[in-house]
Amino acid sequence: MNITNTDIILASKSPRRMELMKQAGYDFKIVTSDTPEITTKTAPFDVSMELSSIKAFGVANSLSLLENDTLIIGADTVVFCDDEIMGKPSDYDDAFRMLKKLQNKTHQVYTGVTLLHYTSGNSSPKVKSFYEKTDVHVCPMTDDEINSYINTKDSFDKAGAYGIQGPFAIHIEKINGDYNNVVGLPISRLYHEINNFSDLC
């Protein structure tokens, strides 16, 4: 696969993932699918990879036979704390519950990524999935601080009910690992995985 001659599709409408892809210099388009994201896995890294695969294959199945070499990138981020896998909160109370659990603790953020490479006219892709993990420690937070953050409306489209790059940054004490992984896409790892994947295709 020559990446410069390959159409790249990001199977996500996350503005944070789009921005990271742009920062890395990729020319890509956005395509998403309505495939139900139902996982059979129980470990957080497996959940993130399975959901990323569902997203990628959901987009692939919605497209007609691809005329050009195409790379589809699916990604999914989950937060893991006290044996609970957290996705996006369902409502205000769920966001409060999540943040109450995360405060004054270290939790893990997993982003799973699936790469599908279709050569011209071939309906069977080469597939690669991987994940990245980052440890995040949240400062102690009062109920008022939690409510104040939720009222910024920043919680509801993010795994674990927070965004590290937004107003919640003041409540992050430290991280161990890739910051961009917490944002939603481990862009450095993705870059190298794509290059290695290209060599194998």
Q: Judge whether 76 counts as a catalytic residue.
A: yes
Q: Phi then psi for 9, rounded to 5 degrees? A: -120, 125
Cα distance between residue 94 and residue 153, in whole Å: 13
What is the 3-state secondary structure of 53-105? HHHHHHHHHHCCCCCCCEEEEEEEEEEEECCEEECCCCCHHHHHHHHHHHCCC
Q: What amino acid occupies position 146?
A: I
| Catalytic-role residue among 27, 76, 82, 91 | 76
Q: What amino acid occupies position 145?
A: E
Positions annotated as catalytic residues are 76
